[in-house]
Structure 1
Amino acid sequence: MDGLITGENDERVGLSVIDNKDAEHLIEMEFDGTIKHHQSESYADNPALRTREECERVDQARRFARWHVYRERGYDTVQPTENPDRLLAGLLGIAMLSEAEFDEYFGDLEDQLHHHYDGSSINLPFPNADPDDAIIYQKDVYLTPDPTEFEPPVLDQYLARFEGEPDSPVTGGIRDIEPDEMDGLTFEVESVSEMHILHNDGQGSEQVSHGDQPLDRDPDVRVELMAFDPASVDSFHQYVVSNPAYQIRDRFLLMGVKPPVAFRAQGWGTYEGFQCQKFCSLYEEYWSSEAEITSWDPETV
């Protein structure tokens, strides 16, 4: 993927994006990321006339365009909870919580997950929902300071210090890093929302129940966990910390970009990433810790 900003006025930014099939996309977007024009001679204008893979390449170009404008111009064009800079800040903030603080913010989520496996009745806010269906639990995390106000950007600063190898993901040993080693890359969890619950019946029907939000602004990170047995992991705290790392992996892949080496690890990241990896041939099943991955480069597909 490659991008070039071709113009800007008081309302919009225009750019050319070359996708992984060397097709050009001409895109105009407003400063909040709203795309007002998108044209490519390589793909049908009507999504119904495109293949699943062609639709995904169009979506990749849009996601990459938002990221490119955010990084090149500083506009908040990337949806906050999809921004790798915010996700990395969330990883750091959650990792540094004390166990008491972590339990205050995420104890209800751990309890709910246990109920799926300990024989308890499971309270779901949907009529006729089967607890064995795909259930995604989400909690929004608010950080301070603002992760988008760092220069160089948070992700770039972090990778310059702690980039690992593919078999040593970025979350390994993260809690052993001393704050003074972070050179200012320290983030506090200001607040966490109540649980949101997403239900997918496996037949194309989705339902979402939103929990209350504590602050009147967009959250920085949305922790997303598919129902699993928390007793199967050594540390639920570390498992939650790993989720933003897998989300960073997903966000780069969904832009058609090879993830940074430290985030090339398998595990559950985002529901959107799972859907794309499960049902679109452009991706492998990175969400599964048991899948055999042949490439981390979406350009090779």
Structure 2
Amino acid sequence: MDVLITGENDERVGLSVIDNNDAEHVIEMEFDGDIKYHHSDEYSRNPALRTRKESEYGMQVRRYARWHVYRERGYDTVPPRENPDRLMAALLAVAELSSTAFENYFGDLETRLQAHYDDSTVELPFPDADPDDAIVYQQDLSLQPDPVQFDPPVLEQFMARFEGDSDSPAIDALDELQFGEMDVLDFDIEAVSGIHVLHNDGQGNQQVAESEQTLGCEPDARIELLAFDPSSVESFQHYLVSHLAYQIRDRFLLMGVKPPVPFRTQGWGTYEGFQCQKFCSLYEEYWSSEAEITSWDPETV
């Protein structure tokens, strides 16, 4: 993936992006990340005539273009829940919670998950849903201070803390750091939403029930967990921290680039990442802890 900012005026930024298939894309993007023009001579203008891989190349380009403009120009062009800097801030905030605070924020989520594996009644907001179907529980977080107002960016600052041990997983490195050493990388959870529920029947039908308890603003991160038995892990808090690290991994993979080395670990990240990794040959099954991964570079898959 290669990108060049070709121009900027009072309304938009222009870019030329070479995708992992060596095709050029011309993009015009507004400062909020809205893409007003996107064209490539290599692919059909009609989405119905593009293959799954060709469509994904285009999506990778759009995601990477937003990330590049955000990092190079400072505009908030990346959708909040997809921004690795915001996800890194959320990871730090969750990791630093006391056990009491963690229970207050995420105890209901753990209970909803556990209901699938004990004798509790699983209450789903869909009359046609089976608890054994794919059920994803989602919970939004807002943080303070604003994670995108840092220079250098949050992820870069965190990476610099263990630069000499960059081949260690991020979670292991985090365990070795003292939070007193994190300086300005000190984030608080301002609020959490209620629990949203996504149901996929495995036949291509998907439905989502949003909680009435919303944040009232764009979230900085979204927890999204496929129903699993939380008693199977030693610490649900550590599991959520790992989950956010896997989300960071997914966001780089979906941009068509290798994740930073400490985030090249396997496990459940984003639901979007799972869908792409499961059904598009550009990716391996990074979501699965049991899959054999041959490459962390989407360009070579």
Q: Could you say what secondary structure the match of 2:190 adopts? A: strand
In structure 2, how many angstroms separate the alpha carbons of the residues matched to 1:75 and 1:216? 22
Q: Deviations over 1:30-53 (max 9, x none)?
A: 111111100001111111111100
How far apart are residue 213 of structure 1 and its match?
4.3
Q: Residue 186 of structure 2 corresponds to which residue in structure 1?
A: 186
Opposite residue 298 of structure 1, the aligned amino acid is P
In structure 2, how many angstroms separate the alpha carbons of the residues matched to 1:226 and 1:259? 22
Q: Residue 148 of structure 2 corresponds to which residue in structure 1?
A: 148
Q: Residue 234 of structure 1 corresponds to which residue in structure 2?
A: 234
How far apart are residue 128 of structure 1 and its match?
1.5
Q: Residue 22 of structure 1 corresponds to which residue in structure 2?
A: 22
The number of residues matched between the two structures is 300
Would the aligned equivalents of 1:96 and 1:175 in 2 still touch at CA under 8 Å? no
Q: Residue 250 of structure 1 corresponds to which residue in structure 2?
A: 250
Would the aligned equivalents of 1:91 and 1:244 in 2 still touch at CA under 8 Å? yes
Q: Residue 286 of structure 2 corresponds to which residue in structure 1?
A: 286
Would the aligned equivalents of 1:95 and 1:175 in 2 still touch at CA under 8 Å? no
Q: Could you say what secondary structure the match of 2:122 adopts? A: coil
Q: Could you say what secondary structure the match of 1:242 adopts? A: helix
CA RMSD of aligned residues (A): 1.2
How far apart are residue 29 of structure 1 and its match?
1.0
Would the aligned equivalents of 1:162 and 1:170 in 2 still touch at CA under 8 Å? no
Opposite residue 10 of structure 2, the aligned amino acid is D
How far apart are residue 217 of structure 1 and its match?
1.8
Gaps of 5+ in 1: none
More off after superposition, 142-151 vs 157-166: 157-166
Opposite residue 43 of structure 2, the aligned amino acid is Y
Residue 70 of structure 2 corresponds to residue 70 of structure 1: yes
How far apart are residue 172 of structure 1 and its match?
2.1
How far apart are residue 215 of structure 1 and its match?
3.6
In structure 2, how many angstroms separate the alpha carbons of the residues matched to 1:256 and 1:179? 32
In structure 2, how many angstroms separate the alpha carbons of the residues matched to 1:191 and 1:46? 42
Q: Residue 4 of structure 2 corresponds to which residue in structure 1?
A: 4
How far apart are residue 263 of structure 1 and its match?
0.2
In structure 2, how many angstroms separate the alpha carbons of the residues matched to 1:94 and 1:195? 17
1:100-119 to 2 correspondences below 5 Å: 100-119=100-119
TM-score after normalising by structure 2: 0.97
Opposite residue 136 of structure 2, the aligned amino acid is I
Q: Could you say what secondary structure the match of 1:267 adopts? A: coil
How far apart are residue 64 of structure 1 and its match?
0.4
Same amino acid, percent of matched pairs: 69
In structure 2, how many angstroms separate the alpha carbons of the residues matched to 1:272 and 1:214? 21
Opposite residue 235 of structure 1, the aligned amino acid is S
Q: Residue 266 of structure 2 corresponds to which residue in structure 1?
A: 266
Would the aligned equivalents of 1:81 and 1:87 in 2 still touch at CA under 8 Å? yes
Q: Residue 219 of structure 2 corresponds to which residue in structure 1?
A: 219
Q: Could you say what secondary structure the match of 1:222 adopts? A: strand
Residue 209 of structure 2 corresponds to residue 209 of structure 1: yes
How far apart are residue 216 of structure 1 and its match?
2.7
Q: Residue 58 of structure 2 corresponds to which residue in structure 1?
A: 58
Would the aligned equivalents of 1:191 and 1:214 in 2 still touch at CA under 8 Å? no
How far apart are residue 212 of structure 1 and its match?
3.3
Q: Could you say what secondary structure the match of 2:106 adopts? A: helix
Q: Could you say what secondary structure the match of 2:223 adopts? A: strand
In structure 1, how many angstroms separate the alpha carbons of the residues matched to 2:12 and 2:277? 32
Q: Deviations over 1:200-253 (max 9, x none)?
A: 000111110111345432110101110001111110010011111000000000
In structure 2, how many angstroms separate the alpha carbons of the residues matched to 1:245 and 1:29? 28
In structure 2, how many angstroms separate the alpha carbons of the residues matched to 1:29 and 1:205? 32
Would the aligned equivalents of 1:32 and 1:76 in 2 still touch at CA under 8 Å? yes
In structure 1, how many angstroms separate the alpha carbons of the residues matched to 2:7 and 2:260? 29
Would the aligned equivalents of 1:246 and 1:266 in 2 still touch at CA under 8 Å? yes
How far apart are residue 165 of structure 1 and its match?
4.8
TM-score after normalising by structure 1: 0.97
Q: Could you say what secondary structure the match of 1:140 adopts? A: strand
Q: Residue 47 of structure 2 corresponds to which residue in structure 1?
A: 47
Would the aligned equivalents of 1:32 and 1:77 in 2 still touch at CA under 8 Å? yes
How far apart are residue 21 of structure 1 and its match?
1.6
Q: Could you say what secondary structure the match of 1:172 adopts? A: helix
